[in-house]
């Protein structure tokens, strides 16, 4: 019986260690930004979120793997903008984020052409 209890506690601890910490009542936006043509990850893309639930806006940059993470957002509807100097910006509107959820939004950016500048 001790072995069963020990196994349960061990599994519970292992399971909790692999779950990212999240503040109850808030949501998280995450995702990856890649080049539309090459599928290569894009670092340093500015990801900005706005919402009536936020005071102002929150912005982060993608890391070397093209990944962004915006935690602790109040539940609501968001507008997300992805911007980089060499790529056309993308805006996604009316993104519903629920409390205690992580929402993944992956995007592919298209390179700007000379006529875009």
pLDDT in tens, 87-110: 999 999 999 999 999 999 999 999
Which one has a higher pLDDT value, 113 or 68?
68
In a domain, 10, yes or no: no
Angle at 18 between CA 15 and CA 19, to 5 degrees: 90
Which H or E run includes 19?
none
State the CATH number of the domain containing residue 106: 2.60.40.1120
In a domain, 44, yes or no: yes
**Prediction pTM value:** 0.77
The whole-number pLDDT of residue 11 equals 36
In a domain, 29, yes or no: yes
In a domain, 64, yes or no: yes
Q: What is the pLDDT of residues 29-79, one digit of tens each?
A: 999 999 999 999 999 999 999 999 898 999 999 999 999 999 999 999 999
Domains: count for the chain: 1
List the domain range (segments joined by +) for residue 29.
22-112
**Angstrom distance (rounded) from CA 15 to CA 12:** 5
In a domain, 47, yes or no: yes
The whole-number pLDDT of residue 24 equals 76
Beta carbons of 87 and 110 less than 8 angstroms apart: yes
In a domain, 7, yes or no: no
pLDDT of 14 > 50? The answer is no
In a domain, 52, yes or no: yes
In a domain, 8, yes or no: no
């Amino acid at each position: 019986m001790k072995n069963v209890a020990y196994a349960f506690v061990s599994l519970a601890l292992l399971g909790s260690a692999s779950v990212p910490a999240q503040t109850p009542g808030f949501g998280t936006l995450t995702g990856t930004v890649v080049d539309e043509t090459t599928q290569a990850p894009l670092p340093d893309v500015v990801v900005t979120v706005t919402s009536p639930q936020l005071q102002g806006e929150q912005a982060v940059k993608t890391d070397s793997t093209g990944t962004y993470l915006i935690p602790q957002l109040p539940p609501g509807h968001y507008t997300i903008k992805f911007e980089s100097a060499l790529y056309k910006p993308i805006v996604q509107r009316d993104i519903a984020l629920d409390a205690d959820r992580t929402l993944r939004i992956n995007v592919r950016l298209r390179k700007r052409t000379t006529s875009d500048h």
